């Protein structure tokens, strides 16, 4: 029967697993605010795991299966987050290319009355 440290670690890793699946769902839906909140929550879980005196679950067969499940998801999340960030930067650049402020000589010229 697993001891208390094993069960505590297993419970935290299960929460980490659930949050990873939720991250995937929200990045697919481009719900960035929710995605970022979940990233913060997952970071807190990581801190809690690091604060454990030992993580006996990490050496178990169950953890190996969890690791095999999460590794591809982590890579997909990273790829999709980078893709979203690049799209966002391109959109932002496109929007700013239409800015006609005082810094733009063309905008200043077009706004003047002749």
Encode 62-100: b = buried (16+ Cβ within 10 Å), e = exposed: ebeebeeebeeeeeebeebbeeeeeeeeeeeeeeeeeee
pLDDT number for residue 107: 55
Quick: pLDDT tens for 37-85: 999 999 999 999 999 999 999 999 999 999 999 999 999 999 999 998 8
Summarised one tens digit per residue, pLDDT across range 8-43 is 999 999 999 999 999 999 999 989 899 999 999 999
88 falls in which pLDDT band (50, 70, 90)? confident
Q: Is residue 100 scored above 80 in pLDDT?
A: no
More confident residue, 114 or 19: 19
Picking from 49, 43, 48, 47, the residue whose alpha carbon sits closest to that of residue 19 is: 43
pLDDT at 30: 86
User: Please, what's the largest Cα pairwise distance for the chain?
Assistant: 87
- Predicted TM-score (pTM) of this structure: 0.76
Question: Half-sphere exposure of residue 108, counting CA atoms within 13 Å on the CB side?
Answer: 4
């Amino acid at each position: 029967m697993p001891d208390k440290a094993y069960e505590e670690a297993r419970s935290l890793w299960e929460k980490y697993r659930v949050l990873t699946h939720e991250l995937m769902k929200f990045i697919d839906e481009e719900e960035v605010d929710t995605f970022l909140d979940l990233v913060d929550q997952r970071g807190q879980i990581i801190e809690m795991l690091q604060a454990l005196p030992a993580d006996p679950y990490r050496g178990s067969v169950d953890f190996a299966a969890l690791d095999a499940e999460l590794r591809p998801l982590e890579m997909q999340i990273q790829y999709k987050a980078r893709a979203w960030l690049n799209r966002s930067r391109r959109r932002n650049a496109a929007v700013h290319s239409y800015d006609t402020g005082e810094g733009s000589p063309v905008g200043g010229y077009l706004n003047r009355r002749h």
